[in-house]
A and B are shown apart, each in its own frame.
Chain A
């Protein structure tokens, strides 16, 4: 602990942040989430053998679970009194560069999105969001976000008078029409309220594990969770019969979370984000 202007500052060595993030990026791309593996235990539909063996091969060989190792997104919750020894953005981008070039993960980022689309060759830049919190820690959430699932992201600017039933229908229709293109059984993240950008952000945060999402309310008490709505959506998704890989057998959606935020009197933003079945999300807390 160092003193600075009378405030109690906590210094965290950026080398530790770098190492922990590197390990997490390796882990998230090669070690399947145990809950996903369990989900497939009793699945014997199309490609059951390939899906199960892939998890074992990736774990033992350290080859990536999917060739699309994604664009890396970071959501960082940083204590207002935490002092890092290097700029955080540099540390995170260095970690992505090191892991993606050093482990044979796909370099899948192009600069100049509309015209040249030239590969940056090191999978950077990452997408980085930093939020200040009132805790002496840095909590780094990361997702290796594949392009197939990202293409399903969407925002609806609904009317404030919209019925609950129509909101449910809007979400279910979107999933019904698109889940077959995103490597089901998918994870559905819903963000309601805020502004258009806030809603999208919430829908991304909603893709993380329930135990991680629980922390959100402690970081920002205005972020709420509609658990009952998530359960109702999950039940409707179970009737879709899109199935594993869109081939009609097994679950379509493995998990749904709905996060909410205060909004403007004239608006009802509804954002939907989707993650693929591999659920490559992880968080590291450094104290």
Chain B
């Protein structure tokens, strides 16, 4: 079941990325945090229906001030159209980039708004490392994001970490931009 949800989540995310929905939903985020995500430069002729559009509350960034945004939706719906952005990393590195901090700051802010929410922090890697080492590297990426959130005052009890190594690439491509998208810490809402 979880894997089916994951597929839904990934496909919904890629749909929304593909049509520029991500940038529209996140106008308030600082530009530095978006540098790792390839923004759509061309507009597709007909926008595919995404979760964001079918849910009247999903298309707003005002998640912080709109509690209904998560309380009116299931976990699957929240994760399929997550208000939380992925944290980027350099190759073979779990060091938080400057561009990661605004993303994590916003994640912490969001967590403070929704004080009952718990998150799973997933560490992911690009395909260029080895299977075995990437499991360890992904864990370190998840832990880096986790430690930063805890340092901002988020109780550790609300966060768990896991590494998926290079097993679940967000982008199946073999390009620099695909690799950049796949090196990430990703947040899944596990309870609200």
A-B complex is real: no
Q: Residues on B close to A: CB < 8 A? A: none
